């Protein structure tokens, strides 16, 4: 069974700080990595995806991928109270699979 593990949280940071969310995965063949944000009672929404080793930045969000260590992370700079949500890491199964495996999520609270 392919596994995706996230830091269990909950994670609490002050407004303006950097929030760091981490995810490890078991399938070395995985090629696509996604971060979703889910507000309470809402559906997941895609905020970042990354396919290559290294960093990918989009506004206040940076995704980092290290395939050798099977590790992907999400950094949120200048955290805002509106960033308070559960963040889901998703990884595609290797071998060209159509399926994504999700972690259980990390709940982030940004305190004003």
Question: Which residues in this chain contact another protein in the complex, by CB under 8 A?
Answer: 1, 31-32, 34, 42-46, 49, 88, 90, 92-93, 96-105
Contact 27, 2 (CB under 8 A): yes
CA-based nearest residue to 105, from 18, 21, 31: 21
Nearer to another protein, 15 or 57 (CB): 57
CA-based nearest residue to 106, from 41, 9, 33, 20: 9
Tracing tokens 């063949």 back to the chain, one arrives at 29
The distance of closest approach from Cβ of residue 32 to another protein in the complex, given in angstroms and rounded to an integer, is: 5
Interatomic CA distance for residues 69 and 15, integer angstroms: 31
The distance of closest approach from Cβ of residue 15 to another protein in the complex, given in angstroms and rounded to an integer, is: 26
Nearer to another protein, 9 or 17 (CB): 9
Nearer to another protein, 95 or 112 (CB): 95
The distance of closest approach from Cβ of residue 66 to another protein in the complex, given in angstroms and rounded to an integer, is: 19
């Amino acid at each position: 069974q392919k596994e995706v593990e996230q830091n269990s949280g909950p994670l609490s940071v002050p407004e303006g700080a950097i929030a760091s969310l981490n995810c490890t995965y078991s399938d070395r063949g995985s090629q696509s990595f996604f971060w979703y944000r889910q507000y309470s009672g809402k559906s997941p929404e895609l905020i970042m995806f990354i396919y290559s080793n290294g960093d990918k930045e989009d506004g206040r969000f940076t995704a980092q991928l290290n395939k050798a260590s099977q590790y992907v992370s999400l950094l949120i700079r200048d955290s805002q109270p509106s960033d308070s949500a559960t963040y889901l890491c998703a990884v595609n199964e290797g071998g060209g699979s159509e399926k994504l495996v999700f972690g259980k999520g990390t709940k982030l609270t940004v305190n004003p």
